[in-house]
């Protein structure tokens, strides 16, 4: 049940969620737990999910038609947790209806589509946000504090990646179709690591990329996982990459190596970020045999030192939704129009263009 607002508090924001897969369920739970929000509407094609989560959280509005929900539910905010190719039309429709929007990542299937979403947000005077939940991890927050403290000095190099032993999501579904997903491993999980690393480095602009993509597992029907499977479409070809690597040039001269794979002959799944500064280096990683780790290497009074920063709790989707709601309440719409996520989308576009051309490509600014 949606919690009651504290007495004397401002009017609760009326919230809705489109899409009730795993990610959508996280948004539902976040809204339902927030006493400043009234969760009033859900939309999904699956009737059983509408009934299940509608009953669990006593949500009065339940719609299979998302346009009908936006027309009738009088929403202030909406979460869009649907296949990537639907983000653009749904977000633009909601923004033009006067609703503030948060979408799941990736923002859209292309930079052009993402740019149209930003234009719609600016035209409507509404907030557009993208849920990059992994930057809300406790170790990422701890490392951000280290970077901001100046312990590492100016950062000049980073390595980052998310690699899986076997984990192609929804093999044979929209996840592996170029038109609906926009790309494969780089678009799906590589963008998380790109976002996280640029966030840690202080948002330097990416000026150029040199990338390569491979599809060695998916075309043979190998490397799949149960995650993300909805309804497999028989005969659907594997149209995206299952591994991508990229070398990124950053404004100011720093560089980054980015890798992502859904399937690869490696010992185990692994996510990592390594930062190298003039005064120290630091790494975070999870998925390895030792569990999540964060380590900083520097000098203290001229003595080599290894630091283990304290790590708080993970924020995940709930923190992403809370940040979105804070942006809506701030009234500073111009600062929250989706531009940062658009820059991520343009980097991914450049990665795919580089891989196709076999040459370095400049990133559209």
pLDDT per position as a tens digit, 97-151: 999 999 999 999 999 999 999 999 999 999 999 999 999 999 999 999 999 999 9
pLDDT at 1 over 60: no
Q: Which residue has better confidence, 273 or 231?
A: 273
Identify the burial level of 114 via C-beta atoms within 10 angstroms of its C-beta, where 0-12 means exposed, 13-18 middle and 19 or more buried. buried
What is the percent of the chain with per-residue pLDDT over 90, rounded to a whole number? 86
Tens digits of per-residue pLDDT, 187-228?
Answer: 999 999 999 999 999 999 999 999 999 999 999 888 988 665
Domains of the chain: 13-134+318-335 (3.40.50.720), 135-313+346-362 (3.30.360.10)
Phi/psi at 295 (5° precision): -140, 140
Residue 262 has pLDDT above 90, yes or no: yes
Q: Name which residue leads in pLDDT, 310 or 7.
A: 310
φ, ψ of residue 113 to 5 degrees: the values are -65, -40
* pLDDT score, position 204: 98
Tokens (6 digits) for 365: 């600014």
Span 295-332, pLDDT tens digits: 999 999 999 999 999 999 999 899 999 999 999 999 99
The pLDDT tens digits of the residues spanning 60-104 come to 999 999 999 999 999 999 999 999 999 999 999 999 999 999 999
Choose among 78, 69, 83: nearest CA to 37: 78
The 10s digit of each residue's pLDDT in 263-304 is 999 999 999 999 999 999 999 999 877 778 999 999 999 999
Does the bond joining 106 to the residue before it have cis omega, within 30 degrees of 0? yes
How far lies 334's CA from each of 125, 127, 129, 339, in Å?
8, 8, 12, 10
Residue 4 has a pLDDT of: 53
Report how far residue 200's alpha carbon sits from residue 209's, in angstroms, rounded to the nearest whole number: 19
Return d(Cα 22, Cα 38) in angstroms, integer: 21
What burial letters (b/e) apply to 313-334, b meaning 16+ CB within 10 Å?
Answer: ebbbbbbbbbbbbebbeeeebe
Sign of the four-CA dihedral 186, 189, 193, 195: positive
231 has a pLDDT exceeding 60: no
């Amino acid at each position: 049940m949606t919690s009651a607002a504290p007495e004397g508090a401002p009017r609760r924001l009326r919230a809705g969620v489109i899409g009730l897969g795993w990610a959508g369920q996280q948004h539902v739970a976040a809204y339902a737990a927030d006493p400043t929000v009234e969760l009033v509407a859900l939309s999904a094609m699956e009737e059983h999910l509408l009934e299940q989560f509608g009953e669990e959280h006593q949500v009065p509005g339940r719609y299979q038609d998302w346009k009908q929900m936006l027309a009738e539910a009088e929403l202030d905010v909406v979460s869009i947790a649907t296949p990537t190719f639907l983000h653009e039309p749904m977000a633009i429709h909601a923004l033009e209806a006067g609703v503030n929007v948060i979408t799941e990542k990736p923002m859209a299937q292309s930079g052009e589509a993402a740019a149209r979403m930003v234009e719609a947000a600016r035209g409507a005077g509404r907030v557009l946000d993208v849920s990059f939940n992994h930057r809300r991890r406790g170790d990422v927050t701890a490392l951000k504090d280290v970077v901001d403290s100046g312990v590492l000095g100016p950062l000049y190099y980073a390595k980052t990646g998310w690699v899986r032993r076997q984990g192609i999501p929804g093999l044979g579904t929209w996840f592996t179709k170029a038109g609906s997903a926009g790309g494969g491993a780089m678009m799906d999980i590589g963008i998380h690591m790109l976002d996280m690393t640029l966030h840690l480095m202080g948002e330097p602009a990416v000026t150029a990329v040199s990338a390569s993509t491979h599809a060695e597992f998916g075309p043979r029907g190998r490397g799949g996982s149960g995650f993300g499977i909805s309804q497999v479409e028989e005969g659907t070809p594997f149209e995206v990459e299952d591994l991508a690597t990229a070398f990124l040039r950053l404004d100011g001269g720093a560089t980054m190596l980015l890798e992502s794979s859904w399937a690869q002959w490696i010992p185990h799944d692994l996510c990592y970020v390594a930062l190298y500064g003039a005064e120290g280096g630091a790494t975070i990683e999870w998925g390895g045999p030792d569990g999540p780790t964060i380590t900083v290497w520097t000098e203290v009074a001229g003595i080599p030192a290894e630091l283990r920063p304290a790590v708080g709790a993970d924020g995940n989707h709930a923190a992403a939704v809370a940040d979105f709601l804070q942006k809506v309440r701030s009234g500073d719409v111009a600062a929250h129009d989706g531009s940062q996520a658009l820059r991520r989308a343009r980097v991914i576009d450049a990665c795919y263009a580089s891989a196709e051309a076999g040459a370095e490509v400049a990133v559209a600014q």
